[in-house]
Amino acid sequence: MTSSRNPWRFGGALPLGVAALVLAASALIVGCTCTKPGCGFGITAPKEGETLPPGDVDVTFSALEGSFCTFPAQAYLVTLDGGTPVRVERAGLLKARFSGVGPGSHTARATALGESDRALAAAAVTFQVVAPPAPTPVPTPVPPPPAETPAPPVEEGAEAWSRYLKDVFFDFDKFDIRPDQRDALAEDADWLKKHPMVKFTIEGHCDERGTRQYNLALGERRAHSAKEYLVTLGIEESRISTISYGKDRPFDPGHDESAWAKNRRAHFVVTSTK
C-alpha cells in the first residue's frame, strides 16, 4: 500500500492559499508599528508643567489619523479641569480655546472619538497659571504743607463792625451755599450796600476731620462761594478778600457734630471802614 504524504510536516510545502494568508498577516504585523491604541495622539500645547499667564488658553493637539491598529478619529472632545467639553470636528482646526483662565493648577484633557462618539484615545497635560507680580507702586511726593497765612491787618475800630455781618454755615465736605443760608447773605448784602466804604475779608473754616491740606483747600472754596454769592447780589468784588484757615481756628473746640457744624462756616471780618 502506498502511504499519502502529509504536507504539514516539516520540510513540506504549504498550500498556495495558506501561504498567501501568512504573507498578508506578516505584512499587517509589520505595518502595525503602534503597540498601543492612540499611538501618536497627544496634546501639543500647553506642555506638561508649563507656566502660563492668566487669560485665554489654547489647547492644541495632534490628529489621530488611524493605522492598521486603530480607526481614524471623527471628532475630539477637549475639557479643562473637567468642565464643559468643547467639541472639535475632524475637519477643523485642532484647537480649543478656554477664556479667562485664572491662577492655579489646571488639567487639559483631549479625547479622540470614533464612530458613534466611541472613545478611541485620550491625552492629558497639567500646567500652571501664575499671575505676574504686581508692580511696585511709586510713592507720590507729598509737598510740604503751606505756611500758615497770617491774618490781614485790621484797622483800629474796624473789627467792631464785623458784628453786623452774619456768618454762613456749610454741610460736611461741601462748599455750596445752602438754601437756608441765602437769607443771611442777602441781609449782609443789604448792610454792605448801606456802608459802601466797608471792605472785608471772608474766612473759610472747616471742622477737624480730614487733613490740614485738604481742609485749607475746602475752606478756600467756602470763602470763594460766599464771595461769589455776594457779588451776584451787587457787592463790588474789589471790596472783598478771602482767606482759608481750614481746621486751624475752630470756633467750638468740641469733638462732636454740634461743634463741627459751628466750625463749618464762612466768617466775615471787616478790615477797613475808610
Give tens-digit pLDDT for 180-238: 999 999 999 999 999 999 999 999 999 999 999 999 999 999 999 999 999 999 999 99
Residue 159 backbone class (left: φ over 0; alpha: ψ -120 to 50; beta: rest): alpha
Number of Cβ within a 10 Å radius of residue 244: 23
Strand order in the sheet with 168-169: 168-169, 265-272, 199-205, 240-246
Q: What is the pLDDT of residue 31?
A: 46
For residue range 160-181, what is the model confidence (pLDDT) as tens digits? 788 889 999 999 999 999 999 9
Could you give the CA distance from residue 12 to residue 28 in angstroms, rounded to a whole number?
Answer: 25
The type of residue at 155 is E
Angle between helices 182-194 and 212-232 (to 10 degrees): 60
Q: What is the pLDDT of residue 214?
A: 94
CB 177 within 8 A of CB 191: no
Per the listing, cell 478778600 goes with: 241
Q: How far is CA 135 from the centre of its chain?
A: 14
Omega of the bond leading into 46 within 30 degrees of 0 (cis):
yes
For residue range 37-78, what is the model confidence (pLDDT) as tens digits? 556 788 999 999 999 999 999 999 988 876 655 678 889 999
The grid cell for 92 is 477643523
Q: What is the pLDDT of residue 107?
A: 96
pLDDT band at 27 (very low <50, low <70, confident <90, very high): very low
Return the half-sphere exposure (C-beta side, CA atoms, 13 A cut-off) of residue 130. Answer: 7
Could you give the CA distance from residue 200 to residue 216 in angstroms, rounded to a whole number?
Answer: 20
Whether the model clears a pTM of 0.75, i.e. scores above it, the answer is no
- For residues 97-115, give the mean pLDDT: 93
